[in-house]
Chain A
């Protein structure tokens, strides 16, 4: 499940304690500062390292950690066989980039359209991990009640509709949710819509239509483009020919940023900025994260096609490890605290699985088999498929 060089936080030892902390948390020590800057596209200087940022960073790290622990467990249950059918799709290596957007959005106020590798963003937005486990296991208490599975889950009425598989088609739905608020005269509420897309999904006509639509309407849309170097097995060289994806944003008349998607600090800074601009009425924002999918496409896939050089490079860093180092270096957490958070995440996942394992699975005899909300418009049973 994890490549040799990536330390599994669930099993590996944690780093030794950091050197003595800087006396003032509001500025970085020169040493740390320089190290963070290595290979980064967006510059960290200017990052607010005051209490508020520390708080946001720490909170987001814990969302990432919970996502990792949860997805490791889902993958293990899948591999053990029997309980999870279909597949498991994880966001390993993308947690920082995903959560950094989710954490900016307020559930009940903003809109969020998470995609395939956005478990961390979902947790950051406020989706209970029970929703994930219930959907994977098919519990009738979950939002999808066995009618859809895995990452195809959401709660439209809570501002987080479920994706359909068809890549690219989700973005326009988020546009519509934002458009509705405009038509309802609620623009002063300054709600923002965040959503994701991969380097592969970027090639769909649907995504092109939707981003252009958002630009024409100047909607407060923030798109997180996770350039994880592969779409299933297809490398980016077979996906697009432009020099840099940032050119795409320019082509739409949309503001774009590129960040090191393995660096939580950089991701938080980029998304804070993008979300603020969208809220302020500056129109759609695109944030492109450079990172690497540290898993197969799904848990069935060994990803043997991934170029080993990429794994060793900057994009191949594990964002969770990078964040742990940062927390220790900043003295924002001790090794003991990191371990405690890890244990907390594990017991939260344990407890949630224990609940869901006891829940009922869908019963074909209880199922309504009704695809319309208007029961009077449903075709008579003899035209609607086999009788049970």
Chain B
């Protein structure tokens, strides 16, 4: 059996619906149609009344989820693309994100954000919004990079009593495959060493983990052993694992697909600079997408975001220092 990242997401939702009567799914075209990416295929039939088509109203979709959560439900909202969650942004950051702090009543909603670039998707179907949401208090931001994490972390997202943004990467939907789904997983908030090494640390998450692994492979041929840390969740961020890795390697490159101003990679650098300055043998580096909207044509798109090649060349510079 071979399970894709997308299939893992579908199976996790099936499992959540089957095991927890509080769970329901709400999003555009997710009912009989099975979703724009088919992440809910068959669930409408299997769970009548619990997989609900929404009007094109991202604000009201999230608002509805918040109200349902107050009344004891565990909604999973599917944004058709992460980009469109900007229309529901207010509900996510100001309503869901503030509710527990203001009222002591948790707000257990899960918002699925099909994120990141694929060739030809253009400026409005390619964005990664993990960093902008991570900026706000009261939210948990999950960024799974593997089929296994896509499955277990989505199930965990539903269990978390706080608003959780599940940033699933569209590029990984069909590219990534696993033989079986896991029974066990690291807890949310713990990073994973995706590849051990001694010469430099790459901290990455989501699709960038795979670009980083390819870069590490390339550098291995040149004799460098690169450690790749998969953050798994951008918030909370596992600073201990990052610092532990930097303690071993003395060199840090943080890689993310979001726009370059601020964000998760800047957060990694800032934490290591302030808490692990003495561990560093070279100035810590970061690599993000270019500071333009995400271009449509593959010729432009492929160099807009970090790739194995640009990560490898950043690493070479870092190792030369």
Q: Which residues of A contact B (CB under 8 A)?
A: 143-144, 147-148, 152, 154-157, 161-162, 164-166, 168-181, 183-184, 205-206, 209-210, 212-213, 216, 370-374, 376-380, 382-383
Find out whether the CB atom of B161 lies under 8 angstroms from the CB atom of A373: yes
Give me the 7 closest cross-chain CB pairs, A-B, nearest first: A176-B67, A172-B63, A180-B71, A209-B57, A209-B60, A371-B138, A371-B137
Does B138 contact A377, Cβ atoms closer than 8 Å? Answer: no
B101 contacts A147, C-beta separation under 8 Å: yes
Task: Evaluate contact between A179 and B64: CB separation under 8 angstroms.
Answer: yes
**Can you identify 18 A-B contacts, CB atoms within 8 angstroms?**
A165-B94, A172-B59, A176-B66, A176-B69, A180-B73, A184-B71, A209-B55, A209-B60, A209-B63, A210-B59, A210-B60, A210-B63, A212-B60, A213-B54, A213-B60, A213-B64, A373-B161, A383-B271
CB neighbours (8 Å) of B188 from chain A are: 377
The answer to whether A180 and B59 touch across the interface, beta carbons within 8 angstroms, is: no
Give the number of residues in B that approach A within 8 Å (Cβ atoms): 53
* CB contact list, B164-213 vs A, under 8 A: 187-189
Chain A residues with Cβ under 8 A from B69's Cβ?
176
Instruction: State the CA gap A104–B95 with chains docked (Å).
Output: 27
Considering only residues 82-113 of chain B, those with a C-beta below 8 Å from chain A are 87, 90-91, 94-95, 97-103, 105-106
Contact (Cβ within 8 A) A370 B71? no
Kindly state whether residue B147 has any CB partner on chain A within 8 Å. Answer: no
B103 touches A373 (CB 8 A): no
Name the CB-closest residue of A to B87: A205
Please state if A164 and B94 are interface contacts (CB–CB under 8 Å): yes
Query: Is A382 within 8 A of B99, CB to CB?
Result: no
Q: How far is the CB of A211 from chain B (nearest CB, A)?
A: 9
- Cβ of B179 to closest chain A Cβ, rounded Å: 30
Among B198-242, those with CB < 8 Å from A are 235-237, 239
CB distance from B302 to the nearest CB of A (A): 34
Within the complex, the shortest CB–CB distance from B113 to chain A, in Å, comes to 18
Chain B positions within 8 Å of A, measured between CB atoms, are: 24, 49-50, 54-55, 57-73, 75, 87, 90-91, 94-95, 97-103, 105-106, 137-138, 140, 160-162, 187-189, 235-237, 239, 271, 274-275
A374 to chain B, nearest CB (A): 6
Q: Which residues of A contact B72 (CB under 8 A)?
A: 180, 184
Give chain B nearest CB distance to A228 CB in angstroms. 24
Cross-chain contact A148 with B102 (CB below 8 angstroms): yes
Q: How far is the CA of A180 from the CA of B68 in the complex (A)?
A: 5
Q: How far apart sit A190 and B90, CA to CA, in the bound complex (Å)?
A: 30
User: With A and B bound together, what is the CA distance between A154 and B271 in angstroms?
Assistant: 38
B143 shortest CB reach to chain A, Å: 14
Residues of B within 8 A of A166 (CB): 90, 94-95
Q: Which of B69, B101, B102, B106 has the most CB of A within 10 A?
A: B102
Report the nearest A residue to B98, measured CB to CB. A164
Cβ distance A176 to chain B, nearest Cβ, rounded Å: 2
B63–A173 CB distance below 8 A:
yes
- B70 and A383 within 8 A (CB): no
Q: Is B90 a contact partner of A177 (Cβ separation < 8 A)?
A: no
Which of the listed residues B63, B95, B161, B239 has the most CB atoms from chain A within 10 Å of its own CB? B63
Per the bound structure, the CA–CA distance linking A180 and B108 in Å amounts to: 13
Residue of A nearest to B188 (CB): A377
Contact call A161/B103, Cβ cutoff below 8 A: yes
The answer for the CA separation of A162 and B66 in the assembled complex, in Å, is 12
Question: Chain B residues with Cβ under 8 A from A155's Cβ?
Answer: 103
Is B103 in contact with A383, judged by CB distance below 8 angstroms? no
Docked-complex contact B162 and A374, CB < 8 angstroms: yes
Alpha-carbon separation in the docked complex, A213 to B88 (Å): 14
B162 touching A372 by the CB < 8 A rule? Answer: yes
Would A172 and B70 count as touching, CB distance under 8 A?
Answer: no
Shortest Cβ distance from B62 into chain A, in angstroms?
8
